[in-house]
A and B are shown apart, each in its own frame.
Chain A
Amino acid sequence: MNKKRKFSLGSALLNAPYFAWAALFIIIPLAVVLFYAFSDGEGHFTFSNILSLKDYGGVILRSLLYSVVATAITFLIAYPFSYVVCRMRPASQKIANMFVTLPMWINLLIKTYCLSALMDGNGLINQALVAIGFGKLPLMNNTGAVIFGMVYNYLPYMILPIYNVMSKIEPSLLEAASDLGCGALSRIRRVIFPLTVPGIVSGIIMVFVPSVSTFYISAKMGGTGDFMIGDLIEGQIHSQNNNLPVAAALSAVLMAIILVSMLILNRFTENDEGGSVLI
């Protein structure tokens, strides 16, 4: 008998509730998704749900494309934004940060609704444009609007992790870089950027995941051809047909997309060989 690791009643009692909860409501639900995805209404195994997704290939690809583009734009705005904020005085940084956080507390639905009130065909921007004698612009109900809506809603989620990592870079490292001959740009390229990779990765996750799975933004801001996976899943569940197996199959595909993108992103953070990442 192995008596080295004594069974401890205390730690078992400590762990039991959470283990039970996590098993019941985190792991089993995912298994249920797979069960539904691979079964017909009566519980028999079938590939038909997955096979039926081939009609939705375009939607899946579109979701990927839109969210990748939105994530990239978000990054291109968030990175210089964080850089500028990091160079302000500490008290100003706090305030700047507060005003990045503030919109996150307001529900995405109402923000998106207000955004569409601004950008609509008869919305406030177009009213203003007409008033100054400029024609109306087609700001809404197109792909650009969907991507803008995602960038707008998820920008703070990219700024915060990048800012957090960037503001914690030791000032002496930046001085060392200048001391060793770096001008402002080469300092960003050789020191700041590689050191902020962890923040960039979590920013990408925090923007990409909700973007690829969004369903209100695309429905509200997009045109008829801008449907995304989230809209499909929602439609399968809440429309009259209530097709749970297909919704489950779509969810499984979405999970696979997330899983693969996580694996790709992990390559950038778990680099234990030393040496430079990404350069």
Chain B
Amino acid sequence: MKKLGRVFIGVVYAILYAPLLVMAVFSFNSAKSTTTFSGFSLRWYVNLFYDRSMRGILLNTLLISACAAVLATVLGVIAAYGIYKMRSKRLKSAVNTVTNIPLINPDIITGVSLMLLFTFFGTWFLHNSAILGFWTLLIAHITFNLPYVILNVLPRLYGSDVSLYEAALDLGCTKTKAFWRVVFPGIVPGIVSGFIMAFTLSLDDFIISYYTNGHFNILATSLYTAVKKPLSPEYYALYSLIFLTILLLLTAVNVIEIRSDRKNSTVKKKIGD
């Protein structure tokens, strides 16, 4: 029974990674084909390095992701603190429902609805229906990032000790000071994970971007144009590098976690026995 289970998850992993393996292997293909391997070469990695339009697209992507993540984090932390402080339960649950809308709504609807809003605004107020571009893309990204930041920060706020805040007030802090000195340090982990999530979601999103970017191209939207035609292995090379980076990061994080788990469990054992 146990063996059967191992075989089963082994097969699932194999299927999960087969396309990624194809990507990695064909990123070293000397020809342009993604189905016939004609020899090993680093050609696509070199091309990637010298591809100016790709460099522009990557810069655009980083710009949008960084701006969206920073702004969404700032706005999200303020929003989370506001929700946390809200006294009316009804208002709170209403706000939470609205916050959940971009999470649950399919990306295509978020994208289309924002696009319609921008076009609507453009046609009726600016008499210019072609207003899609950097700013609309940024607004869209902030909008879909916001709930993730809020949902990362809120649990930290609810988990924080109210008496600490009260102690700070008691010891002479103003409300603002008490927030910065006592509450804020406690929610930093939530802010960081919210920020990272926002940043990576921005990097990865293509559906919402596709409807709101106009002519401002980012990696995911240019990828969408590219995958409709036979794909250049340059994208394979790029995504293989991304994959490798994430693999290394995740491995590092996991190794650290497993080590600290081990340490904790031996310490616990020593105390317990």
Contacts and interface: CB of A to CB of B under 8 A. Distances in A.
Direct contact between A and B in the complex (CB less than 8 angstroms)?
A: yes
Interface of A: 5, 10-11, 14-15, 17-19, 21-22, 25-30, 32-33, 35-36, 77, 80-81, 83-85, 87, 90-91, 94-96, 98-103, 105-115, 117-118, 120, 122-124, 127, 152, 155-156, 184, 205, 209-210, 212-213, 215-216, 220, 230, 233-234, 237, 244, 247-248, 251, 254-255, 258, 262
Contacts of A105: 200, 204, 242-243, 246
B116 interface: yes
Contacts of B13: 99
A259 B169 CA distance: 45
Contacts of A27: 98, 101
Interface string B116-153: 11011000000000000000000110110010000000
B251 interface: yes
B166 to A, nearest CB: 17
Interface residues of B, number: 78
Interface of B: 1-2, 5-6, 8-9, 12-13, 15-20, 22-23, 26, 34-36, 75, 78-79, 81-82, 85-87, 95, 98-99, 101-102, 104-110, 112-117, 119-120, 139-140, 142-143, 146, 175, 200, 204, 206-207, 211, 220, 223-224, 227, 231, 235-236, 239, 242-243, 246-247, 250-251, 254, 257-258, 261-262
B130 to A, nearest CB: 12
Given A5-B87, A10-B175, A237-B112, A107 B247 contact: no
Given A25-B143, A98-B251, A102-B247, A209 B224 contact: no
Contacts of A106: 20, 239, 242-243, 246
Best-buried of B12, B146, B242 by chain A (most CB within 10 Å): B12
Contacts of A21: 75, 79, 142-143, 146
22 contacts: A14-B85, A18-B78, A18-B79, A18-B95, A21-B79, A25-B140, A26-B98, A29-B116, A81-B8, A81-B12, A87-B2, A105-B204, A106-B20, A106-B242, A107-B223, A110-B23, A152-B16, A155-B16, A209-B105, A220-B227, A230-B108, A254-B108
